[in-house]
Chains A and B, each alone.
Chain A
Amino acid sequence: MSRPEDTLPPDLFYNDSESRKYTTSSRIQKIQSDMTHRALELLDLKSPSLILDVGCGSGLSGEILSASDEEGTPGGPHIWIGFDISSSMLGVALEKEVEGDLFLADAGQGVPFRAGTFDAAISISAIQWLCNAESSEESPAGRLSRFFNGLYASLRRGGRAVCQFYPKNDEQKKMISAAAVKAGFGAGLLEDDPGTKSAKTYLVLTVGGGELDG
């Protein structure tokens, strides 16, 4: 099967029927939910925080972010703001009446929030899309750099971001983490079940300076 990233840009790939397929597949929901919980474990939030969800899609991760500590969301309930480039996906999120604020936005164009806005950011199965350059005016390097620079500035000092993504190959993995480091992040790549069909790659990013307080 071909990777969706190799065929069409995400706003075209996730049309209404694909969006619905994506959000109603219980297998995908389970994987997405497991990865969100793993990302939250890596974020290690102690109290209700303001979180950016990059590529929030239909709000599958957002629903977990809005849950309480007792329901299994560390430090929750959190308040989140989600970005997605697919209006069909956001339409599904609207129908579900998710609690986060939704933006139709392309992370490859930057992150339009003032400095130090977010305690944390999360991204599940999205940032490999940044490596698609959709036109001759855009390059993957330019899109990655606008995204990571914007993300870095919008996180508060001491903040963290965890991005789970599906790298096409080792070269792409390196290109993505190098772009994060260039933006100023401390970066580490973590792999769960490496070498298997269910291998998961997490890019764990930290913003230096400042104290981690409640």
Chain B
Amino acid sequence: MKLLTLNFLTCAIKTCKSSPSSFPLHPRDAELEIVEADLNLKFLENILPRLMWDELRVVVDELGLPTLPPTIPTRADLVAPSSPTSSSSSSDPAPSQTARDLHRILIETCVREGKLVCGNCGHEYAVKEGVANFLLPAHLV
């Protein structure tokens, strides 16, 4: 599961819906893997305003990954400054180092095994081979 997904996922239990501490879910005993993927600059530009940056920083810290900058980059930060010598025929803007770093953390860094724990109710969702189990027993729905 991509860290991108963890930045949107909440606890599924009905009584947690209204509690702010049900997001983000906290990884525990997590085994990470890097799954290489093509950088999709337009997607990063699209998703950027929807990220919860502080919560992403919390999860990144909990996973023991290098700390993210305190403030979220802007859309302009994602595009490499165009070099004056480059040919004007190239159609798409090139991604900046910031975009590459964001791609690495959001899209390529995945939780392969472990648990995701709700900060409100303590429910643990197992992750196996990257697949999270969100099936709930009927009484918790």
Contacts and interface: CB of A to CB of B under 8 A. Distances in A.
Contacts of A79: 4, 40, 43, 47, 107
Interface residues of B, number: 33
Contacts of B14: 110
Nearest to B8: A117
A50 B46 contact: yes
Nearest to B111: A101
Given A48-B46, A112-B11, A114-B10, A135 B138 contact: yes
Interface stretch (B56-64, B66-74, B82-90, B128-136): B128-136
A85 B5 CA distance: 19
Given A48-B40, A112-B10, A137 B138 contact: yes
Contacts of B12: 105, 109-110, 112
A135 B47 CA distance: 39
Interface string B7-34: 0111110100000000100000000000
A94 B23 CA distance: 27
Nearest to A214: B46
Contacts, number: 88
A77 B40 contact: yes
Chain A contact residues: over half helix, strand or loop, or mixed?
A: loop
A200 B37 CA distance: 34
Contact of B135 (A94, A105, A137, A156): A105
Contact of B138 (A48, A102, A117, A138): A138
Interface in B81-115: 107
Interface residues on A, range: 20 to 34
Contacts of A102: 130-131
A137 B136 CA distance: 13
A90 interface: yes
Contacts of A103: 131-134
Nearest to B11: A112
B138 A47 contact: no
A113 interface: yes
A98 B37 CA distance: 11
A208 interface: no
Interface-central residue, B1, B134, B136, by most chain A CB under 10 Å: B134
B76 interface: no
Contacts of B52: 114
A79 B40 CA distance: 9
B134 A101 contact: no
Interface of A: 47-50, 77-79, 81, 83, 85, 90, 94, 99, 101-106, 109-110, 112-114, 116-117, 119, 135, 137-138, 146, 156, 214
The 5 closest A-B pairs by CB, nearest first: A48-B43, A112-B12, A105-B134, A117-B8, A104-B133
